[in-house]
Structure 1
Amino acid sequence: MPLHSKDDIREFIDDEIYASSDLSTTMPKFKFPQQEQAAQHIYSAVHDELMLDGNSRQNLATFCQTFAEPEVRQLMDDCMDKNMVDKDEYPQTAEIEARCVHMLADLWNSPESANTIGCSTTGSSEAAMLGGMAMKRAWEKRRKEAGKPIDRPNLVTGPVQVCWHKFARYWDIELREIPMEEGRLIMTPEEVIQRCDENTIGVVPTLGVTFTCQYEPVQAVAEALDRFEEETGIDIRMHVDGASGGFLAPFCAPDLVWDFRLPRVKSINTSGHKFGLSPLGVGWVIWREEADLPEEEIFWVNYLGGNMRDIALNFSRPGGQVVCQYYNFLRLGREGYRRTHTACYDTAKYLAEEIAKLGPFEVIYDGDMASGIPAMCWKMKAGEDPGFTLYDFADRLRTRGWQVPAYALPANREDLVIQRILVRHGVSRDLSSILVEDMKRVIEHFEKHPVHTTMTAAEASGFSH
């Protein structure tokens, strides 16, 4: 062996990282690499690429949690090797999941006599699809027993998040999504009843509409369906999409009736990693009673060491997020969640007031805790021409790292472009005041440099809803 052959003693060399031969060339991007490299060097290379992502704390487009206590990070590390589906190998993690299900059932006022059932999922979208499948199976069972066809199911919703469009497409269901109209941007009981018939598998109101952040009138819709059943004999169940509101209304609007206090509400989904304050990767679905979950949706698995019930769509998935959800329940309790979310609502109100003062904007929703989530949205004032569009405004804010989405509303209000801010735990009043000052500077910039060719929706930076 040559005395100074670097390749032969590569693993023993402690070069200054950026002077190493590992990082003297670009990393492979399209072909699988041939050689192994030093862990510290490759970590540095990957870490450097991650710097180019946006700052998640400044992402005011996302509903998802971007702040975590040190204890949560430690628990995630402790649970990195725990598989949520393997309840025989990790029985205590399974027990923690079951406790969370019971706690959520209690939070959502499940009847004391009910034998509640539910499970964790990878997120609220998976949970929504499980609730949707239960509606479809229950409808099919009733139709078969009555000797009627099951080939034309439909689902009635207000303006919904894309997961419901996926559900309808994947399971061949007609989605009767109530379009927005002038003066009405959410579901109403009248619009729901117009779309219901014997083929309706269910009605899905949203507690925190993606586009405008408002709560849809769950109780009023339930009462309308009660009257509809009295008149037609058609019993239509409800599933509440509580992706955001399921972790808000119980603490900040406890008198709002939207949950299992309404007998027609058979299931609820929510997102633990949104206002449940857990790390990304956990959702929940709860059924009012065990009888509301069709047997066809339950699988029994015995090849992991025990005969275990499995409900979720995904199989192997990490257990850390569920454990952290339990930590949050114990750590915060009702009082802690109320205090945390109330602070977010207060900040949303502050932002709404300050943005209304800027001049060209009209606030649509101001973060009222009785009618929506801690967020706010606005549009350009009618007849206003400040020399820029909301797309231009959003694009300019990105130069300071802020992600504040501008987007056109869905049918039939594609003509209306709005902008939205989500106020999550970690979006402080001080951070919000800095944002307001940056907004003022952006407006001043456009006053001096008006945009003659303004951005369109297709040209604007994309935002996830």
Structure 2
Amino acid sequence: MTERDDAALFGNRFLTTPAPSERFPEEGMGATDAMRLLDVDLAMEGDPQRNLATFVTTWMEPEAQRIIAENLHRNFIDHAEYPISAEIERRCVRMLADLFNAPGRTTGCRTQGSSEAIMLGGLSLKWKWRERRKAAGLSTDRPNLVFGGDVHVVWEKFCRYFDVEPRIVPLAEGKYTIGPEDVAPRLDERTIGVVAVLGTTFTGHKDDVVGIDELLRDVREKRDLDIPIHVDGASGAFVWPFLYPDSKWDFRLEQVRSINVSGHKYGLVYPGIGWLVFREESDLSMDLVFYENYLGKTDATFTLNFSTGASMVLAQYYNFVRLGRQGYTYVMRMMQENARVLAGNLRDGGRFEVIGDDAEQLPLVAFRLTGEQDYDESDVAWQLSAERGWMVPAYTLPPDAQAVKIMRALVKETLSREQIDRLSEDIADACRTLDAKGATHAVERAQVKHGTGY
């Protein structure tokens, strides 16, 4: 029997042969070999159930997984061939509009995560501003957009890609969100909109959307400038309606004209699915809508991508009808309760300061070391990963708060109270190990100390 036959019978030839990585393979391989090759590579990755860094969903029910698997072949954009998939998207948009308290008939679409939704929402802000300027006989050059340093980097991408001046409000130590006092001096007749974040990536809090709305209504009345708000609810728009239903941040506020949300975060769907919802149909610039008929019937589209799978749209609808308001509220409260337990454990341990858990916040714990020790948060994160496999990120905050380094633990649906207690003890153990052996990230810590680490 040859070596190749032995590998086929007893194992995998890539146990002793490097995997294809540089050149396109001349020959194929059996399905089992291909599967084993990938399995061996992926075994070296982190455990998604211990990944407390990502906001993205890492578990769905078996029934949802079956829906996803059985519809991977369905191209969502083919509305003529797959009209039910298209109708399910419309159902989801209507349900989200209801969840966000839209006052009447509206529109929106599924997107490839919040990044595409933000690009589309930003483009609509720019196009609607341009329409107003043209109607008034004014120039349409040099548009600007106001947002805080607490936004996701995709907003800076939007400004660079689509030629909009970013007017960024810097943060400060102890101030990690923005309000009307930050926005007011940055507004002018060329401002296409203000971005307010609901559930920041950094600390899980929200900008003062109510205060910004009051400011912009005042600006509209006194200066005749109608400046809209886009709420970046990538994480928070699936949290606040269930944990803080009386908190106003959505279409209950007059100047909020569009909202994006990630279905693959707290919408509890695997990546990638996002949503963009407008307050009214008129808030979508019609210049963004294209009509085509080469898929079997005339259809309108205003997404940046074209072909994409229908599976995650169907999975989102599954979650809506499976959980409803009652089920989503239960899941969010369960995560929030466990986050509070973790925060209490860390605080009681005496080594960490917990950031902002007395305010409205995503189900997470943001924390930083207190006192003097010969290591920093990056050392704790590294030690925690090396000892126990937990992925808990450590990072500096944006300007002008870059001297602040924090850690952040996302409390997921699958993280039980027993695991919360184990994580708390593992963090304490990591610190005890570092007490004995010292730091491993001295250069990075020096950069942060001198404000150059961002």
Instruction: Please tell me the TM-score bracket, short chain as reference.
Output: over 0.9
2:391, 2:38 → 1: CA distance? 23
Question: Equivalent residue for 1:196?
Answer: 187
Question: Equivalent residue for 1:65?
Answer: 57
Question: Equivalent residue for 1:263?
Answer: 254
**AA partner of residue 436 (structure 2):** K
For 2:199, which of 208, 213, 233 is the aligned residue?
208
For 1:397, which of 365, 379, 384 is the aligned residue?
384
Question: Equivalent residue for 1:15?
Answer: 8
Question: Equivalent residue for 1:377?
Answer: 366
2:183, 2:197 → 1: CA distance? 13
Superimposed CA distance per residue, residues 37-66 of structure 1 (whole angstroms, 9 cap, x where no aligned partner) = 111011101111001111111111111111
2:440, 2:3 → 1: CA distance? 59
| 1:30-41 equivalences in 2 (<5 Å) | 30-41=22-33
Question: Equivalent residue for 1:149?
Answer: 139
How big is the shift at 1:312? 1.1
1:17, 1:42 → 2: CA distance? 15
Question: Equivalent residue for 1:123?
Answer: 113
Superimposed CA distance per residue, residues 389-433 of structure 1 (whole angstroms, 9 cap, x where no aligned partner) = 111111111111111111111111111111111112212222111
Moved more, 51-60 or 422-431: 422-431
1:107 aligned onto 2:94:
no
**AA partner of residue 374 (structure 1):** P
2:431, 2:15 → 1: CA distance? 43
1:387 aligned onto 2:387:
no
CA RMSD of aligned residues (A): 1.9
Identical pairs, percent: 42
1:75 aligned onto 2:67:
yes
1:233, 1:116 → 2: CA distance? 25
How big is the shift at 1:182? 3.4
User: CA distance change for structure 1 residues 290 and 404 in 2, over 3 Å: closer, same or farther?
Assistant: same
1:415 aligned onto 2:403:
yes
1:28 aligned onto 2:17:
no
Superimposed CA distance per residue, residues 101-128 of structure 1 (whole angstroms, 9 cap, x where no aligned partner) = 11001111111xx221000011011111
Is contact 1:397-1:439 (8 Å) kept?
yes
Is contact 1:160-1:177 (8 Å) kept?
no
Is contact 1:242-1:269 (8 Å) kept?
yes
**AA partner of residue 98 (structure 2):** D
User: CA distance change for structure 1 residues 87 and 244 in 2, over 3 Å: closer, same or farther?
Assistant: same
1:448 aligned onto 2:436:
yes
How big is the shift at 1:301? 1.8
Is contact 1:391-1:455 (8 Å) kept?
no
User: CA distance change for structure 1 residues 174 and 79 in 2, over 3 Å: closer, same or farther?
Assistant: same
Is contact 1:204-1:240 (8 Å) kept?
yes
**AA partner of residue 428 (structure 1):** S
Q: TM-score, normalised by structure 1?
A: 0.92
1:297, 1:42 → 2: CA distance? 43
Is contact 1:269-1:284 (8 Å) kept?
yes
Q: TM-score, normalised by structure 2?
A: 0.94
**AA partner of residue 70 (structure 1):** P
Is contact 1:408-1:457 (8 Å) kept?
no
Q: Which runs of 5+ in 2 are unaligned?
A: 449-454
| 1:323-402 equivalences in 2 (<5 Å) | 323-366=314-357, 371-381=360-370, 384-399=371-386, 400-402=388-390
**AA partner of residue 93 (structure 1):** S
